[in-house]
Structures are given as C-alpha cells and as structure tokens.
C-alpha cells in the first residue's frame, strides 16, 4: 500500500491482509483503510455477509462522513432500484449507518463534531453532495416517501473509528460533542433512536476477525439429544443425526450474533425470508397469543447441517453450520424476540453432522420440497453446481484464473491463500452470465432476486448447459473489476461493468444462442484467450470504455441510463462498430 502511516502494528497487519485479499495492495493506505472499516462496520451492524463495501464510500471530497450504509428489513441497499423489492411489503424496518474513519491513534472531539454536523446536513440540508453521497440521499428520500410503512422511525448509528488503543468513555470534551450532536440530530424528528459507537484498535480487530472466522455456537441442552443414526464411510468423517428440543433462549445463540444481528446461517436455505404475510403472519399471531404449546405442535421445526458437532455433558458445540429448513420460523422469532414469552418457547431441531456435500444438498431438497419452492429450482441449485465447480477447477489447472466457484456458502472462508475477489458465488455467477450471454446487463445491475425469480431453471443453471459461458462471464467480470481496482480503468465505469463484458462478447461473437449450444465452445475459447492475456484484455476494455464515453458524462452517472433496455441495445451497436488497431 502507498503512503503507509498507521502505526498500530496489528491493525496495519490486518489491513495489509485485507488489501491483499481484495487485490488492493497498490492503493493508498487511506482508501484501503476506509474500505476495511466500512466492511467491518457493515458486518458488525448488520451481520456477516459478502458486502459490496466499495459502494459504501462517500467520495474523496465529502466532509465528515466516509461511509454510508442503508439497511431495510435486514437487507443492505446500494441503489434506489434495490428498494423495488419492498414495493409490496407492508412494513419497513430501517437502519442508517454513518461512518467516520480516521487513521490517527486518538479520538478528537472536533472530528466527532464534524461527523455529527455533516450527518445533520446530509439528512436535512444536503448541498454539494458527491455522486456517491447523492446516491444514498436518493435512497433516503425514497424511503421517507414510504413513511406510512415504517414499523418505527429509522434507527441511526454513527460509527467513529480510529486506531486508538483505548476508547474515550471518560473524555469530557468527546462526551460533550456526542451529547450536543445527538441532540441536534434528535431535533430533526426523523429517528427512533440515535447511537454513537466509538471503535478503537481493539474493537476493530475483533470486528475484522468476525468477518473471516468460521461460524461457531455453543448451546445448553436440557437432556442428551436422541441420536437418529451414525455412520462412517470410507474414512474418519462421521455422519451423525440428532433430534432434540431447546428453548428459544438457547436456539437464538445459533441464529443471532453478539451485535443482535441475524447470523449468515440461512444462505443454504433455498427460500429467502418472505417477510410478512401468509404463514409468517400465522406464526407471529401464535407467538403474540402466548400459546407456546400450539407453536410447538404446529411448527415443523428446524433442520441444521454442520461440519462438526461436539457434546460435552449437556453443552453442544456446533461449527460451520447452516439452517437449511426453518428460515421463515427463525426470522419471525427474531423479529418477535423481545416478547416476554418467546424466551421459553420450545424449538424442535434436527441436526445432521456431515461433510458430504451431496448429502447436504439432498437434505436441503427434501426439507424444502414444498409448493412455494418449484422443483426445478431445487434441481437448478444442486446438480448443475457441481458441474460448474469441477469446470472452474479444470480451467485453473489449464493455466486459467484461477477463479473458485463457491458451490456451498463459506466454502473458501478459511482458505487464507485464496483471494476473496476470486471466489464466485451463485449470485455473482447469475449476474455475470445474464449480462454477457443473455444480453441483459440492465437486469444484472439490479436485484439478484429478479434474476433468480425470472431466470433460474428457465434460462440459466439448467443441467444441460455448457459450463464454459458461465466461467468466461465470471472471468470477464473479475477482469474488468480488477482493472478498476488497480486504477487502470476509471472507477466511473463501475456501474457499466456488466455492459462492458457484454460488449466484449458482441465484438467477438455477435449472436445470442442458448447456453447449451455447441457453438458456444469455440466462441468462449476465443474470449477466454483475450481475458487471459493481461495486455490484450486491458486493450479491449480500454477501447470499449472510450466508446461508452460517447454517451456523455451526465448519462455516464445517470442510473436511469444504465438500467434501461434501450441502453443495452445502444452498447451492442457500439460494440459492432469498434475497430481495434494493431
């Protein structure tokens, strides 16, 4: 990293690790530290996930605030378009998070006052906003237009982060600035609560470690669990099945972290949380009625798969686990966790310890085979994924990438040698192939849920598909983002990256055909050859960005321009007319 000034040895080391993991080692330390802090805060404030932390930045010339995060119903919002997911939602829970990041080894009441002052200006008197800050202001304005849906006024969290060894709990000047700033923000009448959080070096270390470690929990049982089965096949890895019942006060340790956020243990659950309505309202009504017996009888219980379990007396330790069935129940319990009777509510649990990925997939399919989950979706999310994983491995052996296909959530989380930006999960894969080969970059820039709802099993992830276009599209997306991270291509093209990879494909193969067509093999090989040649790849992408410049600076920054189908047709026509010099 350039211009290194952080003197705290441990923070400096963790920052270096983070920068290497996200291929940002050539960036200035100040920028890397902002990304590092924003990512740590997002995980601390909203639970562990792979956030697009670069989008939290407010720009170089925005004073007082270095990061903004907006959370709606536990979902991080990056753009106004993301709010379309909640158009039919009857209630909104909103959290605004503003971050001030300083590399200095102390807290300063003047810097805290700046955070408070510009937080008030951001919500009440916005002026001279950077494009990045303006994007978040548009999100906030749109949310307040739906104030009738608020369950309560939004929460506001203000993070002041330094590399200080201690925190300023007894500092009179700091506390005075905090009190005055929070009072001024309260006068706006916009927030149900305001919390200022001081993060020094020690807390920052813990926050970072929580983003990289495996998911672990300990619960106390009332009696020894019933062992359903136990078997060992071809080695020492044992598959064990348990059944037991625990009160919610113990179960919540599995799904809620120390910051009172939902843990990332539902990623392998085929259905996302569906919000209010239908069966979830029925679960909520049962809870509010205080009828614990009815809940236990009417609920099918929770199914958990884990890589490791250990029972010592009545203490059970579970590591690397996922809730594969029970997402709806768990989220409704979480939303109603403050009801007095919920703590003693009994939860039936089936726990399977296994490292057999096929068995995990079979369990997910069997426990989610309900009317609300299409059978084709279950197939698409299992059988084709192994094909992709093996294809990625084969391409790596042939000198490609390497990229790593994450068939199972957190598969590479503890692999220190694997850079995070080289891991491709199903969400990233779906967006890349939709943009490059389905010719819908405008869809890829929007919600992943739209792709999953409209494309899965109908257009993408079919068992008969050729895996090559999936790999090539992910590699192309990695490459354009790599050049942007390295500063070789201007960051203003970040929102155009899906259009850029489409234009590359059109330049080399201007025909849209099915993903299972044999013709794609040769075309993908040509594109892969370009992508694997660093200089040639940069030459293609630089030429493409120059063509995009023809839209003009105003349209380049206009989200209404890059999210329309008409723009997609324009960029395809631009690509057809590009001539590369020798």
- Interval 206-227: pLDDT, tens: 999 888 777 889 999 988 888 7
Higher pLDDT pick, 415 / 53 = 53
pLDDT surpasses 60 at 277: no
Q: Is 408 contained in some domain?
A: yes
- Find the mean pLDDT for residues 387-399: 84
Would you state the pLDDT for residue 526? 94
pLDDT of 582 strictly over 80: no
What confidence score (pLDDT) does residue 291 get?
A: 64
Distance from C-alpha of 576 to C-alpha of 566, rounded to nearest angstrom = 16
Question: Is residue 39 domain-shared with residue 69, that is, in the same domain?
Answer: yes
Tell me if 238 is assigned to some domain: yes
Burial group, residue 364, by CB count within 10 angstroms (0-12, 13-18, 19+): buried
Is residue 519 over pLDDT 60? yes
Evaluate whether residue 3 is within a structural domain: no
Name the average pLDDT for the chain: 85
Which residue among 340, 372, 404 closes a domain?
A: 372
Residue-range definition of the domain harbouring residue 176? 9-212
- Mean pLDDT is lowest, of 31-35, 89-93, 125-129, 572-576, for 125-129
Decide if 4 is inside a domain: no
Out of 143-147, 377-381, 484-488, 499-503, least confident range: 377-381
Helix spans in 486-564 (H)? 497-508, 520-532, 534-548, 553-556, 559-562
Regarding whether 489 and 392 lie in a shared domain, the answer is yes
Whether residues 131 and 246 share a domain: the answer is no
Note the pLDDT of residue 547.
Answer: 93
Same domain (yes/no): 252, 355: yes
Same domain, 244 and 181: no
Lowest-pLDDT choice from 170-184, 239-253, 385-399: 385-399
| Per-residue pLDDT at 374 exceeds 70 | no
In a domain, 2, yes or no: no
Please check whether residues 137 and 272 belong to one and the same domain: no
Please give the pLDDT value at position 396. Answer: 82
Terminal Cα distance for the chain, rounded: 34
- Asked which of 319, 350, 372 is the last residue of a domain, the reply is 372
Residue 129, pLDDT above cutoff 50 = yes
Q: Round to whole Å and give the CA distance between 68 and 96.
A: 7
User: Which uninterrupted H or E stretch holds 335?
Assistant: helix 327-335
Q: Is residue 309 part of a domain?
A: yes
What sections of 355-466 are H helices per DSSP?
357-367, 375-380, 383-397, 426-436, 441-444, 448-454
- Of the chain, the percentage scoring pLDDT greater than 70 comes to 84
Q: Which of 231-240, 459-468, 525-534 has the highest mean pLDDT?
A: 525-534
Q: Kindly state whether residues 405 and 270 are assigned to the same domain.
A: no
Contact by Cβ (8 Å): 489, 483: yes
Q: At what angle do helices 426-436 and 497-508 cross, to 10 degrees?
A: 50
Average pLDDT over residues 39-55: 88
Tokens of 171: 């500092």
Q: Which of 372, 390, 424 is the last residue of a domain?
A: 372
At 200, is the pLDDT very low, low, confident or very high (cuts 50, 70, 90)? very high
d(CA 97, CA 95): 7
Tell me what the mean pLDDT of segment 258-287 comes to: 66
Residue 372 confidence class, pLDDT cut points 50, 70, 90: very low
Q: Residue 182: which residues within 8 A CB-CB, separation 6 or more?
A: 116, 194, 196
Whether the predicted pLDDT of 235 surpasses 50: no
Average confidence (pLDDT) over 59-63: 86
- Same domain for 319 and 187, yes or no, is no
The answer to whether residue 581 is domain-embedded is: no
**Is the same domain home to 130 and 234?**
no
Q: Given a cut of 80, is residue 90 above it in pLDDT?
A: yes
Q: What is the mean pLDDT of residues 557-577?
A: 84
Task: Say yes or no: 204 and 277 in one domain.
Answer: no
Q: Let me know how long the chain is.
A: 582
Long-range CB pairs of 451-459 (<8 Å, 24+ gap) are: 455/430, 456/376, 456/377, 456/380, 456/381, 456/430, 457/374, 457/376, 457/377, 457/379, 457/380, 458/376, 459/515
Tokens of 49: 């996930």
Maximum Cα interatomic distance, the chain, rounded to a whole number of Å: 76
pLDDT of residue 371: 39
pLDDT at position 166, please? Answer: 83
| Coil, strand or helix at 173 | helix
Cα R_g (the chain), whole angstroms: 25
Q: Is there a single domain that holds both residue 60 and residue 139? A: yes
Does pLDDT of 377 surpass 70?
no
Q: How many domains does the chain have?
A: 3
Q: Is 334 helix (H, G, I), strand (E, B) or coil?
A: helix
Q: What is the mean pLDDT of residues 428-453?
A: 80
- Please list the residues that pair with 158 across neighbouring strands: 98, 196
Of the two residues 324 and 401, the one the predictor is more confident about is 324
The sheet that has 155-161: what strands, in order across it?
75-77, 67-72, 94-101, 155-161, 193-199
> Residue 118: inside a domain, yes or no?
yes
pLDDT of residue 236: 47
Residues 34 and 183 occupy one common structural domain: yes
């Amino acid at each position: 990293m350039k211009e290194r000034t952080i003197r705290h040895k441990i923070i400096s080391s963790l920052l270096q690790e983070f920068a290497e993991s996200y291929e940002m080692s050539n960036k200035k330390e100040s920028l890397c530290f902002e990304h590092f802090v924003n990512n740590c805060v997002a995980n601390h404030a909203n639970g562990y996930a792979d956030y697009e932390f670069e989008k939290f930045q407010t720009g170089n010339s925005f004073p007082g605030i270095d990061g903004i995060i907006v959370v709606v119903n536990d979902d991080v919002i990056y753009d106004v378009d993301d709010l379309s997911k909640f158009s039919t939602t009857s209630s909104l829970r909103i959290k605004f998070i503003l971050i001030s990041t300083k590399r200095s080894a102390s807290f300063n009441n003047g810097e805290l006052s700046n955070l408070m002052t510009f937080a008030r200006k951001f919500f009440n008197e916005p002026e001279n906003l950077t494009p990045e800050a303006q994007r978040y202001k548009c999100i906030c304005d749109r949310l307040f237009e739906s104030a009738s849906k608020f369950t309560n006024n939004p929460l506001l969290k203000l993070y002041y982060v330094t590399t200080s060894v201690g925190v300023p709990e007894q500092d009179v000047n700091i506390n005075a600035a905090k009190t005055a700033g929070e009072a001024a923000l309260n006068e706006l009448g916009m927030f149900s609560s305001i919390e200022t959080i001081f993060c020094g070096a020690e807390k920052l270390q813990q926050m970072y470690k929580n983003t990289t470690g495996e998911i672990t929990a300990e619960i106390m049982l009332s009696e020894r669990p019933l062992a359903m089965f136990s078997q060992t096949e071809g080695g020492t890895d044992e598959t064990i099945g348990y059944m037991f019942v625990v009160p919610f006060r113990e179960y919540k340790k599995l799904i809620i972290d120390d910051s009172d956020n939902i843990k990332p243990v539902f990623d392998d659950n085929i259905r996302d949380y569906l919000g209010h309505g239908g069966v979830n309202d029925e679960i909520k009504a049962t809870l509010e009625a205080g009828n614990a017996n009815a809940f236990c009888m009417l609920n099918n219980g929770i199914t958990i798969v884990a890589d490791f379990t250990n029972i010592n007396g009545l203490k059970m330790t579970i590591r690397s686990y996922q809730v594969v069935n029970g997402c709806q129940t768990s989220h409704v319990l979480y939303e109603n966790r403050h009801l007095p009777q919920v703590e003693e509510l009994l939860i039936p649990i089936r726990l399977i310890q296994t490292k057999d990925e096929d068995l995990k997939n079979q369990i997910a399919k069997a426990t989610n085979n309900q009317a609300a989950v299409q059978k084709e979706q279950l197939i698409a999310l299992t059988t084709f994924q192994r094909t992709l994983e093996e294809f990625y491995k084969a391409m790596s052996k042939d000198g490609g990438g390497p990229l790593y296909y994450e068939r199972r959530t957190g598969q590479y989380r503890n692999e220190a040698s694997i850079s995070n930006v080289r891991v491709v999960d199903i969400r990233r894969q779906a967006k890349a192939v939709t943009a490059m080969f389905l010719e819908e970059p405008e869809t890829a820039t929007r919600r992943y849920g739209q792709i999953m709802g409209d494309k899965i099993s109908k257009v993408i992830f079919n068992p008969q598909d050729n895996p090559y276009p999936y790999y090539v599209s992910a590699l192309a997306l990695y490459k354009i983002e790599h050049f942007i991270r390295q500063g070789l291509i201007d960051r203003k093209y970040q929102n155009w990256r899906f259009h850029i990879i489409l234009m590359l494909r059109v330049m080399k193969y201007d025909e849209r055909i099915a993903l299972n067509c044999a013709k794609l093999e040769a075309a993908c090989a040509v594109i892969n050859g370009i992508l694997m040649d660093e200089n040639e790849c940069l030459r293609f992408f630089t030429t493409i960005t120059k063509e995009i410049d023809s839209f003009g600076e105003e349209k380049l920054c206009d989200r209404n321009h890059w999210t329309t189908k008409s723009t997609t047709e324009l960029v395809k026509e631009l690509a057809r007319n590009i001539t590369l010099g020798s």
